[in-house]
Each structure stands twice: as C-alpha cells, then as structure tokens.
Chain A
Amino acid sequence: MNPMNYVVLSALLFTIGSLGVLVRRNAIVVFMSVELMLNAANLAFVSFARMNGNLDGQVVAFFVMVVAAAEVVVGLAIIVTIFRTRRSASIDEPNLLKY
C-alpha cells in the first residue's frame, strides 16, 4: 500500500478543516475543524515516519495530540464564558477589538 495516499488524505482533511474554520459561524464547529486540521497533521507525520522508516514522526504526533488537548481545554473554557455572558456562540458577534 502506497503511504503517499495517506499524505494525500491528510492534505484533503487539512483543506476541509481550514475551510471549516473560515466558513462556519458556530464557535464549536470552528473548533471541530481545528481538531480536524490537527489530526490531519498527525496523519501526515505518521505517514512520513513510515516512509522514512524511523519513529520520529510518531513521537511528534504524540506532542501534537497533547497540544490539541490543552488547546481544546482552554478554547472551550473561553467559549463557554463568552456564551454565558452573550448567550450566543457565533464568532462574528464579538467585534469589540474593531478600530
């Protein structure tokens, strides 16, 4: 089985994830897309590890997973706090940092 296919899959997943970040309005869905992007990156790392014959990529994948977890914790905390005050999870709405 050609490991290059997995890299192509990873690219596709990454693109879908980035489009999701750009297009979707709900904050939770944006987060899901970010998770998708991170997992796409993981897949790419592991495929390259297989292609190169060493385990460096898999080690990095672990790191990425830790980072993703931490990021989700913090991000969801922020969204929940904003939701509590504004009663809305849209990312378009909080634009107080406008000039």
Chain B
Amino acid sequence: MTELMPAEGVFSLIWLLMALPLAGAAVLLFGGRRTNAWGPFLGILTVSASAVIGWIMLLSMMGNAPEERTFDQTLFTWVSVGDFQADMAFQLDQLSMVFVLLITSVGALIHVYSLGYMSHDRDRRKFFGYLNLFVGAMLILVLANNFLLLYVGWEGVGLASYLLIGFWQHKPSAAAAAKKAFVINRVGDVGLSLAIMLMFVTFGSISFQDVFGQASEASEGTLTAIGLLLLLAAAGKSAQFPLQAWLLDAMEGPTPVSALIHAATMVTAGVYLIVRSNVIFTAAEWAATAVIVVGVITMWMGAIIGSAKDDIKKSLAGSTMSQIGYMITAAGLGPIGYVFAIFHLLTHGVFKAGLFLGAGSVMHGMRDNVNMRRYGALMGVMGITAVTFIINYLAIIGIPPFSGFWSKDSIIHAAFEKNTVVGLLAMGAAGLTGFYMTRIVAMTFFGKARWEDDEHPHESPKVMTIPLIILAIGATFLGMALLFWGNIETWLEPVTGYAAEELPLPEYVYVVATLALVILGAVIAWVKYARAEVPVEPPHGSVLTRAAREELYGNQINDTLVVVPTYVAADAATAVDAKGIDGLVNGLAAFVAALSGRLRRYQTGFARSYALSMVGGAILVVLALVLVRAS
C-alpha cells in the first residue's frame, strides 16, 4: 500500500503550483488597464514558473521508491460540519504529476504563442488573466485530494472555459457558444455533485483515501450508481455522447483557447476523473461497460463529424472528440486500460495542441479565414507551420515512430484483450482518423491554391512558430520517451493498477492491420483532396456527409429533447401564473368590487330610510334578547 509522504523539500511548494497562476490571474484581472503593458508577460511568467517547479518535482519524485511517491499537503480545514470534513489539501502522486507537467508545459507554450496571436487584440491582458485562471483551476482539479476540492477546480475550469469561449463578447455567436458550453457542462456537473453526495452518504467522507479505501465495503449497486454519475460528469466535461454538442461551437473562441482548453487539458478532466476513481469502476462492472459504450460511440461520432466539416477548427474539434473517445474507452476497459488512457492523453495533449496552434498559424496567415475550401497549396508559403503540422498529423494517425502510434495502438491492443468487437471498432476508427486527418492536411497544404483574390498568405512570426516547433518535437519523441525511458506502465501502476493480458493473436498482426487501415484511409483522402479538384462550394454530398455536416443532428436532437420541452414548460408555467393564479386573485378583487357596487346602493342619502333601518335593527336585538331570556 502506498504511504502518504509528508510534503517536504521541493514538495512543500505543491500549493505554489496552483497559487502562482491564480495570483497572476488576480493581478491581471483586478489590476485593470494599469497592467496592460506588462500583463501578458506576467501571465507567461507565472505558468512557466509553475512548469519549472513541476519538472523539478518530477525529477525528485523519480528518485523515490515507487511506494513513496504520493505527497500530501494540507493547507487548512475548509469545511468542517458535523461528520463532513473537506480540507484545502493537495495530493501529488504519479497520476497528478504527469497532469501537472502537461498542463503547465503545454500551457506555458500556448501563453507564449498567444503573445503573437493576440498581439492585435485590445483586451489581451484580460485574455492572459483568464488563461492563468484556467491553469490555476485545472491544477486545483488535478492536485485535490478530496472530491469537493476537485469539484471547485471542475467548476473553475468550466467558468474559465465560458469566459474564454465568449472572449470576443461582441460576437453574438461567441456569446451563445459560451452559454451553450456552460449549460451543457452544468448537466454533467449535476452528476458530479450527486456522486459526491452519494459518496458521503455511503462512506462518510469524500477524500480520495477514504472513498477508495472503503470502496470494497459498499454494495455493487451503490458503486454502479456512483460510477454512472461520475461518467455523466466526465461526459459533460469531455464532450462525450450525449453531452457532446458544445465542443464544436466552442471553436468560436480564439485558437489558443481551443488548443489549451478544448484539446489538451480541460476536456481531458473527464478522463482524469474516471482514472482517478478507477477503484470504483473496477468494482462496478456495469458502470465500466457504460464507460466503454460512451467512449466507442463518441470515438466514431467525432470521426464522422470531423470527416465532413469544412471549418478547420471544427474538423479538429471532431478529432478531439474522437480521440477522447479513445481515452474514455481505454478507461472503461479496466486495469488493462487505465494506463494507456493516460498515455494517450499525454501524447494527444501535445500533438493536438500542436495541430490547433498550427491551424491558428494558418488562420493568422489567411486573415482569420477558417474555410478549408479556401486554402490549398500553403506548403510552399508557410513552411514551418506546414512541417510541424504534418509531424503532428503523423502522430495523430498513428504512424511509427511518432508518439500517437505507441499510445493509440496500446489502446487498440487493450481493447482486443477485453472484447473483439470493441477492438475492431477502435481499429476501424483509427482508419477513419487516417482519412479525415489526411483530408485536412491535403485541403490545407497541398493541391491547388483556392485562395480568395486578395489573399497573401505568409508565415507567422517566431513567437508563434517556436512553440509549434517545440510541440512537434514533443509529438515525435514523447511516445517513445514515456514508454521506454519513463516506463509509463510501471510509473502509473501504483495509482491505477495495471494488468497485462494475453492477446488472441500475436501483437504484430494488430499493428500491421491498424497501419494498413490507416494508410488506406490516408490514400483515399489524398486521392480525393490532393489529387482531385476540391470544389470551393461544398457539394451536396451523400446522406451521411450531410448528416455529418449537421454534427449528426446533435443540436436538433438536443433541441427536441431538451430545449423545446423546457420552453413549453416555461410557457405553461407562465400561463398558469398569468391566467390561473393572477386570474384567481384578480377575480377575487373583481368580485369584491362588484359586491361593493351593489351594497353602496343602500346609501340613499335619505335620512328617514336610515332611521327605519335603525328601528328595524333595534327590534331584532330586542327580539333576540327576549327569546334568549324566554328559553
């Protein structure tokens, strides 16, 4: 059993990892216009400092024995009510360590890139403030040692995502997209809060130590319920089916945002949640099966949608959805897959960020045009962008020796170890990945130039191309580095457990089959989009193409199932309030008014009739008295 080490030496700075970006965010956002000049540099500095501390911690952690790699640091008691206790406390173990490195390193590179990308934007100081806020919240999420603090980070990244997607507030489409992302995320958040409540009721505590330590004592039904609720939360945050509709709209935000949040880090928080809670999912078979189903469906949905979109960012977003589907599927496979889910998460974080930043570079050169039908033959004009983009492309489709090959094939092999159908589906999706990614590369960098008349594409400045180069180097070597030098399976094993199983056929069969499918998909896309003429107006397309362009009718389904009934219910409630309740109250008032209208006719102003009524009344009183006396 791993023991909890006290946070000493360099590890006493664990809290600094998340405090630096948060402080940076506070200074930039509350400082206001005074900080405009040096604000962006402060933003870059805080995240870079966290990255440096993180790398030092990694090297220190690697020097420890595997059982001594979990560091616990409690800052203060946050909530203590009766039996409920939640501390502001951090836990740095192997799993959170790799996340910290991913978030801070890729984050720092994207901050540098944003210096160039947002250089013309008036509000760039605010942009860096929000980016810092995001990094801080995401670090809280991965460093928390109890579910409530994780929830704080969870909500924080949701908030940062909303602020960043809607950064260009004056664009109604951006504001709507931000709201859509937040609302759909909220649905998932309900799952997380219910899971936390259920955990507290079952285990009496919500810290990781207690929940995972006592998980074996709970009933399978309870664990399945918790697992399904956690899956709901992960689906919301990671844009998995059925809560996937927000991811493509989120591309309204600036490209660095898409790279950081919607490719490398925030959308992977769902995978983190499931892998962190691996004890629960291993114990609850049905929940794990549900995870696999959601993952496989999304894997294919994302790939199909990405194959038909003409907007380069939306196509890459479909790709993100699909790759996270891979990670979620791997996480659902159980102990044979948790490690590979994280492995693919790390490699994907690097090459997908590289792809998005590359797309941003292309957009920068094409005056923010995102329509790939207007690109073409950019290889000669934007050399560095093209080469780095192609390196990342080779990584994502899984060509050896680039990083994606190692991580994605590990997932496919793990899928085959569990179930042949899942394995075949995963392998098929890899082929489709080859197709749509080649489509993007072909339409953008090769073929004939389809630029608009006054277009002068140019390469981006060094502040943007250097991060691209660094990420491309990562996409090349990270896979091999993590697998052979870092021994990622044994590194993560104390946290997630790892159990290798036998493959039905020898391993090289699967490798060759996957490569064959990938190359087939690539060749088909190359012929269709690089060799043949690409029409500038999108052709009518088959039923599947049109459906994919409409994001497989995800928005329409959400509309019918959720939006329209909500509006109907709201209208009904308004009608009941306006006509029913108001009608009742107004009717009562009208009745009283009518009654008084009748009664006032007694005021005749005629003195003698008043006298008569007095006499009448007096007689009645006397009669009553007499009767009472008599009886």
- Residues of A participating in the B interface, judged by any CB pair closer than 8 Å: 18, 21-22, 91-92, 94-99
Top-6 shortest CB links A-B? A98-B605, A95-B605, A99-B603, A99-B600, A97-B605, A91-B607
In the complex, what distance in Å separates the CA atom of A89 from the CA atom of B232? 92
Give chain B nearest CB distance to A92 CB in angstroms: 7
Taking CB atoms and an 8 Å cut-off, the chain B residues in 578-631 that contact chain A are: 600-601, 603-608, 611-612, 615
Chain B residues positioned under 8 Å from A22 (CB to CB): 608, 611-612, 615
Q: List 9 A-B contacts (CB under 8 A).
A: A22-B612, A22-B615, A91-B608, A92-B606, A92-B608, A98-B604, A98-B605, A99-B600, A99-B603
Main secondary structure of the interface of B (DSSP, over half): helix
In the complex, what distance in Å separates the CA atom of A91 from the CA atom of B610? 12
A98-B608 CB under 8 A given contacts A18-B615, A22-B615: no
Chain A residues positioned under 8 Å from B612 (CB to CB): 22
Chain A residues positioned under 8 Å from B615 (CB to CB): 18, 22
Chain B residues positioned under 8 Å from A97 (CB to CB): 603, 605
User: Who on chain A is nearest to B610 by CB?
Assistant: A97
User: Who on chain A is nearest to B615 by CB?
Assistant: A18
User: Who on chain B is nearest to A34 by CB?
Assistant: B611
Q: What's the A-B contact tally at a CB cutoff of 8 Å?
A: 28
Chain A residues positioned under 8 Å from B600 (CB to CB): 99
Interface size class of B (residues with CB under 8 A): 10 to 19
Give chain A nearest CB distance to B312 CB in angstroms: 81
A21 and B611 within 8 A (CB): yes
Give chain A nearest CB distance to B132 CB in angstroms: 75
B606 and A95 within 8 A (CB): yes
With A18-B615, A91-B607 given, name 6 new contacts (CB 8 A).
Answer: A22-B611, A22-B612, A98-B603, A98-B604, A99-B603, A99-B605
In the complex, what distance in Å separates the CA atom of A99 from the CA atom of B601? 7
In the complex, what distance in Å separates the CA atom of A99 from the CA atom of B602? 8
User: Who on chain A is nearest to B600 by CB?
Assistant: A99
Give chain B nearest CB distance to A51 CB in angstroms: 17
A96 and B608 within 8 A (CB): no
User: Who on chain B is nearest to A91 by CB?
Assistant: B607
Taking CB atoms and an 8 Å cut-off, the chain B residues in 145-186 that contact chain A are: none
Chain A residues positioned under 8 Å from B601 (CB to CB): 99
User: Who on chain A is nearest to B602 by CB?
Assistant: A99
In the complex, what distance in Å separates the CA atom of A98 from the CA atom of B607? 10
Give chain A nearest CB distance to B607 CB in angstroms: 5
Give chain A nearest CB distance to B153 CB in angstroms: 72
B607 and A92 within 8 A (CB): yes
In the complex, what distance in Å separates the CA atom of A72 from the CA atom of B606? 21
Residue interface mask B197-218, A partner, CB < 8 A = 1: 0000000000000000000000
Chain B residues positioned under 8 Å from A94 (CB to CB): 605, 607
Chain B residues positioned under 8 Å from A95 (CB to CB): 604-606
Chain B residues positioned under 8 Å from A99 (CB to CB): 600-601, 603-605
